[in-house]
Amino acid sequence: MRPGRLVSAAVLVAVAIALGLFARDVRATQRSFARDDLRVAAAAPGQPDWRASTTFPFAWSDDLLGLGGDRRLRLAIQEFKLTYSRPAGFDSGQAATRARDAAEAALAASAQDADPKRASQALDLLGLLVFGDSTAGGGSAAATRAVSDLQQSIALDDANDAAKTNLELVLKLLRTNGSRVGSAAAAGPRSSGHRGAGSGTPGEGY
């Protein structure tokens, strides 16, 4: 066989091997999502990350499957849950503050998702998180942000019944406590103006 044909054959073999390995990466990525979703549903110990061990850079299979937004939302939900499960500790609430700020930053990033359903779910949880600030001394400004987030969540996905229920409960609690919040109707989706990590007020959650 001529040298040129040998090189061509070697290239074809290499490409075939690479495609096979990439296909395995894609399957592994899909399985990792299903596996970690089951772990969350079963409340299994450990912190799922919805990532697979891959031969090629993980982002390749992740991008092909379009799972980046789903992963960001899942991880943000995990951060949200940690703000409620973390014990008080002996550090004057510093660990709780960091956990709460990490959750706000993760949810705020997910709220910018191009998919309205994912953004709506993130805003719903973000509204509850911020409402915790208002009940922990954050005042009417935090309450206004919470109501705004919940309203935007519903605007993005009118089928988000959880956000509707949460908004109703938040408004009821505010009325019961005699609190008034500023108008949030003009804010519009994705414009709640959150402060970002490092500036949150530790709260008990809601």
> φ, ψ for residue 160 (rounded to 5)?
-80, 85
> φ, ψ for residue 108 (rounded to 5)?
-65, -40
C-alpha 157: how far from chain center: 16
Rg (C-alpha) for the chain, rounded Å, is: 22
In terms of average pLDDT, the best of 45-54, 70-79, 190-199 is 70-79
Residues 18 and 90 in one domain: no
Q: Which of 57-61, 131-135, 167-171 has the lowest mean pLDDT?
A: 131-135
Residues 37 and 130 in one domain: no
Domain that holds residue 29: 1-66
Residues 100 and 138 in one domain: yes
Q: Which of 49, 66, 83 is the last residue of a domain?
A: 66
- With vertex at residue 73, the alpha carbon angle to CA 183 and CA 104, rounded to the nearest 5 degrees, is 50
- Please tell me the predicted confidence (pLDDT) of residue 1: 57
Residues 62 and 84 in one domain: no
Residues 56 and 83 in one domain: no
What is the total count of domains within the chain? Answer: 2
Residues 45 and 74 in one domain: no
pLDDT exceeds 90 at position 83 = no
Residue 22 CA to residue 109 CA, distance in Å, equals 29
Residues 20 and 79 in one domain: no
Residues 86 and 139 in one domain: yes
C-alpha 90: how far from chain center: 28
Confirm if 159 and 153 have CB atoms less than 8 A apart: no
Both tokens of 182, joined, read: 């500023």
Residues 52 and 96 in one domain: no
**What is the pLDDT averaged over residues 96-124?**
93
Alpha-carbon distances of 82 from 101, 103, 198, rounded to whole Å: 11, 8, 16
Q: Which of 66, 86, 102 is the last residue of a domain?
A: 66
